[in-house]
Structures are given as C-alpha cells and as structure tokens.
Amino acid sequence: MRTDLHRHLTSPLTGVRNLGILAHVDAGKTTVTERILYLTGTTHKRGEVHDGTTVTDFDSQERDRGITIFAAAVSCAWDGHRINLIDTPGHVDFSDEVERSLRVLDGAVAVFDAVAGVEPQSESVWRQADRHGVPRIAFVNKLDRAGADLDAAVASIKVRLHTVPLVVQLPIGKEDGFTGVVDLLRMRSLVWADGRGTFEEGRVPDALWEEAHRRRRLLEETVAELHPVALEEFCAESTVSAQTLSAALRDLTRTGEGVVVLCGSAYRNRGIEPLLEAVVAYLPSPLDVPAVRGTLDGAVQERSADPAAPFAALVFKVNSTATGRLTYLRVYSGTIRKGDAVLDVGARRNERIGRILRVQAGQHSDVEQAVAGDIVAVIGLKAARAGATLCTPAAPLVLEPPSVADPVVSVAVEARRRTDTERLVSALARLVEEDPSLAVRTDPETGQTVLSGMGELHLEVAVEKIRRAHGLEIGVGRPQVAYRETVARGVSGLVYRHVKQDGGAGQFAHVVLDVEPLEAAGDNGGGAAVDFVFRSTVVGGRVPQEYVRAVEAGCRDALAEGPLGGHPVTGLRVTLADGATHSKDSSEMAFRTAGRLALREALRNSAMVLLEPVVEVTVTVPDDAVGGVLGDLAARRGRVSGSTARAGASVISATVPLAELFGYATRLRSRTQGRGTFTTRATGYAPAPSAVPRGTPDR
C-alpha cells in the first residue's frame, strides 16, 4: 500500500484528508504520527520520542523535554490518498496551538491512553473540536501497558465526552500479550507478529468467537439506533451488512453523532494500518465539509473547495527560521502559484508569493502551486500574521480567524546587558508574531517589560527560545497570575452628567446606568461564557441610537481597569436606563466619555470581588504518598473533588488557584520520591481571598 507522495500531489480533492492528532500529554500522539509516516513510506526509520529522533518533534526544546510544544504539519500518501497531518501539543499551556490547528482541519484522530482513559486535556481538546465541528475518530493507544483496559477507556469516552462510542475492534490478548485485534465489521483477525507493522489476516480465534459476535451485535444495534438506513436493514434482516455499517459509520462520524473507536499500540506498531484505513473511510475530504464562509462589507459569502474559484486562504501559523519567514496556509478555494500577488485583507496590503513549500515538519520541498484543500507554507509574505485572510485582490473576503485566549500568567523579562535591550525588544516582537497567545507590554508603574502567556511552562519555553535563537542572556522575574475584577452587588440609577464648555462647541451628555452581576441578570446560565452585556431601555428617543452605541463603547473602555487594583473587569451587565441630549453640544464623543466615566463611578460604588484563575489538577501518586499530597493541596487552597484507584496508584482530582501551583512540580517530586505526576486544565476564574498569599497581582 505504500505509494509515492509526489504522484498524488495532483490527486482530486476526494483523495485528500486534512487531519490532526489530538490528545492529552503522553497519550502517544507523536508516536502515532511517527508510525503513520513510517508505514506510508514517508520515513524509512521509526522515530522515537525518548530518543529525540521523531520527525514532528524537531525543535531542540521538544527533544530535550520529550513533549510536543509546536504544532507540526506533515504530508504522506496512503492507498491513493494524500494525508495532510498536524501533530498538536497535548500540554494545557499550548492549547492555543491546538485551537489554531483545529480551525483549518477537516477531521481529527483523538488518541487516548488505554490505562488512563479520558484525561483532563483530552477533554479540553475534544471540546475545542466540538466548537469547530471537526469530525473525529478515536484511537485507544498503549494496549500493551500493564492495566490497559479498552472497555474502561471506552466507558470514560462515553461518560466524560458525552458522545456515542462505536467500537469496531476487539483486542486479541492483554497487556504484554496484546498481539492484534478482531475487526468487527469484517469479522476477521489482524495479528502483528513481526514488529514491522505488517499484519497477518485470519479468522477470528475460537476463544474470542462468542465475544466478537456479541460485540458485533451490540455495534449493529447502536448504529441502527442512530442511522435510518441501518435501522431499516436491521429491522428487515435482523442484521446489518458490513457495507451498510461502513457507510453508516462514515455518516455518523461526519455528523458528530458517534465516534468510531479503534485500538492498538503505536509504540509496538500494532493497529496503525487499520487506523489509516479508518481515516480514509470515515473522515471527510475537503469536498465533504461545508463551504467556508466569510464576510465582505457585512455580507456573508461562501467559497467552495474548487481549484477554479477565486483564491482564499487562512494563515494559521507563522514561523521565523534561519532561511526566512514561513507562513502556513490552509487553502480553502482557488489556486495559488509562485509569484502570484495576494491581498492580506485585514492589513489591506498586497504581497507576493515567493515560494510554496510542501511541509514535512522541519523539512520542506518546493511545489509549483497549491490548490483548494491544501495545507502548505509560503515564503515571501512580510506582514501576514496568524488569523489573516489571504485572497485574490479582485475578490476580497474575510475568513473568521482562530480565537485567541487571554494570557493568565506573566513574568518580567530584561536583558542582563544594557546593550542587548534593543535585541530583546526585537526578539519579543518576533515571538508574539509567531505565537498570538503571548503578549508583551510595559508596566506603566515599574517600566518593566512584561511577557504574558498561558502558563508557567509556556513562558519558560518562550524565554528559552529567545535565549537559544538570539543568544541573549535574559533575567526573568517571578511568575504572576492575571487577576480579574467583577461585581458582587451593583448599583441602580447612577446619574452622570458630562458637561464641558471651554470655548467653541461644548460637550454635553446625560446618562443613567444600572449595573448588576451577570449571574443575577441571568445572562450566562448554561451558555457560553459572557464577560459583558450591554442593553438600553431608553424610550421615546431621549438618547439616539448612535449615542447608545457610543455609551456602550465608553463602558467597554472602562472595563480595562477596575477599582480594586486596576485589573480588567468581567462578568457584569450594564443597562442604559435613561439619558438626555443637548441640541448643539451632544456628540458621540461626549456620550462615549460619559459612558466611560459613569461606569467607573458605578464600579467604585459597587461591591467588587477580586477573581483569580483556577485550574483542575489531576495528581497521580503512589498509595503511600496520598496523605502528604492531600495535605499539600489543602495548604495550596485546593478543593479535592475526587480520588480513584488506578493500577497501584491513586488519582486525585482537585481545583486549585493557579498562583498556588508555581513550583508545584518540584514539591510533588520531593513528596513522592519522584514517582508523582500531575496535569492541569484551566477551568476559569473564582473569587480570591482578600489577601492573595502568593505575590502581588499582575497589573
């Protein structure tokens, strides 16, 4: 089945699969990717994470740390199909890399540890894929590990991810004895005996015959409940054929009503070929997903995945290398060739494509053109940033960019040598350009340069990248979290008059505001998180609509700094209850100023609460260390939500303020003699105590 990649560069769109590998850290994403590259003939040696020889973890920090930090794109060919694959990070600090990747993918493989099942970050990336409507199949990995249990992993998928698992395989053997699977669709055995990844097909073992038939029947019943064609055949024939099952599984995967579950051991090269077959069979091609939607002057337009349509692409990653600036694109429609002029719609800037590259992680090969459905990198763009839309100048369109999360942790950085200050500023600017989830600002009180990111590891990696890439010696301050402020009890009927007369045209605006918490207003119950809601109940035209919009803009300006400590304000609802205008002196500027100053005064008169970021912590420790770990979590203001036993260890779940977790890895290792591990998942904000114990809040 190995095929030459070059021969498929012009394959039709039906033969293209753009997919990502998603999972919790250490579930085996990178190893799965390496085995796919090896089996498709893209590489001729199996890379190993522990040896630092993987293709997708090509950055020196990734190899040193043994984790995926940066999303890496690779292309390979399988059975007449071209697969554009992105290996995404699994650590919570790099979830923004996952977000940008999911924005441009058509499908995904979610990898789960057969021992741990659904872990916190697995759940987070699953929810991210839900938001983007990305179809998924599941691969339960590491079935060769002690304590591996496919049924337990599937149960956790059903309970924690709220989806319908459609298990199409039954393992042959357990733990060290795992040698293959029973394919429940075709009722055959696939056994890997040589370690090279090739399997031997045979009949179902006698010892598993009854169990295989029971599970096949369960699969038929589950599919029939969800798919009308399968239900019709099941009612008529009391069974569902393999052909009908396969077609139904494809439909259910693409609609998100169910998730096909396969299993194997990527490290031992078992189960990868059926996984590739499932990718081709069930995940969509660019033609199977809805046409991309964009806007132009407020009007919604659609662009189909047609190479002959006007060119439109989304930039999802920017990377500065020794050979130039690489800009990663997903081409949604049209065709792009070397030398073509493109329009960066957001920047209103024309640029020219110098080279088009087929990406193989850290290596690249030139191609003459890229068509709809392609994921490529280009050289020559000087200003395009992640989230930018590139299109034909004659047919502009703005595509929705990936969302960017707000940073939650900050550190002060400075060059140890004054002569390196300008170089540090330039390096930080390039870093933020590559990673939009990082932010750089100057503290107005101290004059320090502050670097903000998604977590302690995120900032540590960013600082180390500057040190290695630019040879700078950098001093780093203590991490501080990003606090927020919110309203616990608001005010009603706050009257504010803005009157200014200093010669010439004056300014007049009269507003009456009601301020209340969102929870009290009932605006965010059960829905997506909402930070601020504004509405107007003014009647009789006392405040024209354009002035109402100006008041809202002024209120949003006031949210930047709260009265407690200058932190951003969130979670409130403001109602413009009344107002008045002047025939000559009222203007949008006057009402915007009135809105800003009125809300500031209202917040000073309200009961305010300081909020701090909190995370869900999952700690895995030996049984003899549970007591000490629980005590330490309590000392860090943690609230334990559960504890379960797993393979001779205890898994403790708790909610802990992020500020209390700085340095926790070292503390946990010392308490457990190096045997304890923990992972985190951001859960939002919670009220902080009146005196925050760990450092001053980030301002």
Give the N- to C-terminal CA distance of the chain in Å, as an integer: 58
Closest CA to 347 of 396, 308, 282: 396
Distance of CA 336 to the CA centre of its chain: 28
Q: What is the residue whose two structure tokens read 């940066």?
A: 70
Closest CA to 84 of 101, 59, 67, 65: 101
Q: Cβ distance 431 to 468 under 8 Å?
A: no
Residue 235 tokens, joined: 């009612």
Query: Strands 136-141 and 107-113, how do they pair?
Result: parallel
Q: Cβ distance 278 to 9 under 8 Å?
A: no
- CA distance to 179, 198, 277, per residue, from 194 (Å): 10, 7, 20
Which letter does DSSP use for residue 567 in this model? P
pLDDT at position 1 = 40
Question: Which residues 6+ apart lie within 8 Å of 589 measured at CB?
Answer: 507, 550
Longest C-alpha distance within the chain, in Å?
98
Alpha helices in 204-302, H assignment, sequence order: 209-226, 228-237, 242-255, 272-282
Angstrom distance (rounded) from CA 85 to CA 49: 18
Angle between helices 272-282 and 29-39 in degrees, nearest 10? 90
Question: Which residues 6+ apart lie within 8 Å of 560 measured at CB?
Answer: 568, 569
Which helix (H) or strand (E) is 77 found in, with range?
strand 72-78
Q: Cβ distance 636 to 664 under 8 Å?
A: yes
| Residue 473 burial (C-beta neighbours within 10 Å; 0-12, 13-18, 19+) | exposed
Q: Cβ distance 333 to 292 under 8 Å?
A: yes
Which letter does DSSP use for residue 117 in this model? B
Angstrom distance (rounded) from CA 327 to CA 698: 33
Q: Cβ distance 567 to 485 under 8 Å?
A: yes
Angstrom distance (rounded) from CA 385 to CA 325: 11
Distance of CA 70 to the CA centre of its chain: 12
Q: Starting at the edge strand that comes first in sequence, how are the strands of the sheet with 398-399 ordered?
A: 299-303, 292-296, 398-399
Question: Which residues 6+ apart lie within 8 Å of 353 measured at CB?
Answer: 336, 337, 338, 339, 340, 341, 342, 378, 380, 381
Global pTM reads 0.76
pLDDT, tens only, 557-592: 999 999 998 889 999 999 999 999 988 888 999 999
Q: Which residues of the chain, if any, have pLDDT below 50?
A: 1-11, 50, 52, 57, 520-529, 691-699
Angstrom distance (rounded) from CA 101 to CA 421: 33
Closest CA to 361 of 10, 86, 27: 86
Can you name the residues that pair with 356 across neighbouring β-strands?
367, 378
pLDDT at position 197 = 57
Angstrom distance (rounded) from CA 260 to CA 167: 6
pLDDT at position 527 = 38
| Residue 207 burial (C-beta neighbours within 10 Å; 0-12, 13-18, 19+) | exposed
- CA distance to 81, 276, 463, per residue, from 36 (Å): 13, 8, 33
Angstrom distance (rounded) from CA 475 to CA 446: 15
* Backbone φ, ψ for residue 458 (5° rounding): -55, -45
Q: How many other CB atoms are there within 10 angstroms of residue 62's CB atom? A: 21
Which letter does DSSP use for residue 503 in this model? S
Q: Starting at the edge strand that comes first in sequence, how are the strands of the sheet with 532-536 ordered?
A: 491-500, 507-517, 572-580, 532-536
pLDDT at position 56 = 53
DSSP 366-377: EESEEETT-EEE
Closest CA to 246 of 335, 185, 155, 188: 185
Closest CA to 125 of 144, 153, 101: 101
